[in-house]
Amino acid sequence: MGAPIVPSAGLPPLGAHVSIAGGLHRAPERAARIGADALQLFTKAPQRWAERCVTEEEAAAFRAARETAGIRVAASHDSYLINLASPDPGLRVRSARAFRAELARCEILGLELLVTHPGNATGGDRDRALFQNAELVAEAMRAVPGKTRVLLETTAGSGRSLGCSFEEIAVLIDGLPSEARDRIGVCLDTAHVYAAGYDLRGEYDAVLGRFDQIVGLERLALIHCNDSAAALGSRRDRHAEIGKGKLGERVFESLMRDERLAQVPRVLEIPKGSDPAATDRRNLALLRRLARS
Ligand SMILES: [Zn+2]
Ligand SMILES: [Zn+2]
């Protein structure tokens, strides 16, 4: 693995989505090995409904490992099955329960951030779906008080997924009661917004300006740094390594040098190939170089 990598001073927390194989407490060391001081993880198998509780012992082991690894910011990404906007009563109840359980695991682990995808308006009525989605996020926050900040992720807009426009993200935030609004933020995924039709490559400043105008940059709490294998406006969610997709290195150079975003942590969610650690390490090193060169 070579010499340990010391994350660069002066940069925001930088990391990747890492595996929890072997237990949650293994994630921080995996992050440290790729030179990260931020991480994102799943607190359970994301493609299954089965819930799990995190015990005090597991949480203590995770916190200790995190301390040792020097992880400044840790985020969870919620299950892909959750659809808080579903018109189907059964799926709605199941989703709400799963989201509450996710938030509870984040709290016990002491994670700063929980990234959630706005749901799918499968019934076709987007206004109703947005209203319900906001309501169920607020309900989970009431049921699980604490410090974990819930982040609405911008989506690519495939199918009927909500949150593919900054306006819809703003509607979701506005739909929350004020005490819940203090605990909400936004995760901007560069690949998703590009696929959703925001030309980060051609009009970086205009896109960021629009985000600021509609949502507010003060809400931006995490950036998913992903290049996009899918074209502008394609509404397809296909991530690529930094500089190897349609966005290209220049976009990430702008992002890494943007003083408005200087405090915003960022994580990679790129295809990892046959050697996940080497891929993430190489891409993180590239982001650092782009911040400096
Ligand atoms: Zn996501
Ligand atoms: Zn993402």
Proximal ligand: closest to the CA of 78: 1
Q: Which residues make Cβ contacts (< 8 Å) with residue 148, sequence separation at least 6?
A: 103, 106, 107, 111, 112, 113, 114, 183
Distance 80 CA to ligand 1 centre (A): 8
| Ligand 1 centre distance from Cα of residue 88 (Å) | 22
Rounded to the nearest angstrom, the distance between the alpha carbon of 114 and the centre of ligand 2 is 12
Average pLDDT, the chain: 96
Q: Residue 187 Cα, ligand 1 centroid: separation in angstroms?
A: 9
Its CATH architecture, for the domain 14-292, is Alpha-Beta Barrel (3.20)
CB atoms within 10 A of CB 260: 12
Measured at the alpha carbon of residue 88, what is the angle toward residues 167 and 162, in degrees to the nearest 5? 15
pLDDT confidence of residue 10: 85
Cα 155 to ligand 1 centre (Å): 8
Q: How many whole angstroms from 224 Cα to the centroid of ligand 2?
A: 5
Residue 118 contacts residue 152 (beta carbons within 8 Å):
yes
Which uninterrupted H or E stretch holds 184?
strand 184-189
* Residues with CB in 5 Å of ion ligand 1: 153
Please state the domain extents for the chain.
14-292
Q: How far apart are CA 209 and CA 53, in angstroms?
A: 41
Query: pLDDT digit string (tens) for 148-175?
Result: 999 999 999 999 999 999 999 999 999 9
- Ligand index nearest the alpha carbon of residue 238: 2
Distance 153 CA to ligand 2 centre (A): 7
Q: Which ligand is nearest to the CA of 222?
A: 2
pLDDT > 60? residue 6 = no
pLDDT digits (tens, 9 = 90+) for 193-236: 999 999 999 999 999 999 999 999 999 999 999 999 999 999 99
How do residues 39-94 score in pLDDT, each as one tens digit? 999 999 999 999 999 999 999 999 999 999 999 999 999 999 999 999 999 999 99
Separation of 116 CA from ligand 1 center, angstroms? 7
Specify which residues 41 forms β-bridges with: 76
Token pair, residue 77, equals 């990404």
Task: Tell me the C-alpha distance between 159 and 193, whole Å.
Answer: 15
Task: Quote the CA–CA distance of 274 and 123 in Å, as a whole number.
Answer: 40
d(CA 106, CA 42): 10
Distance 172 CA to ligand 2 centre (A): 18
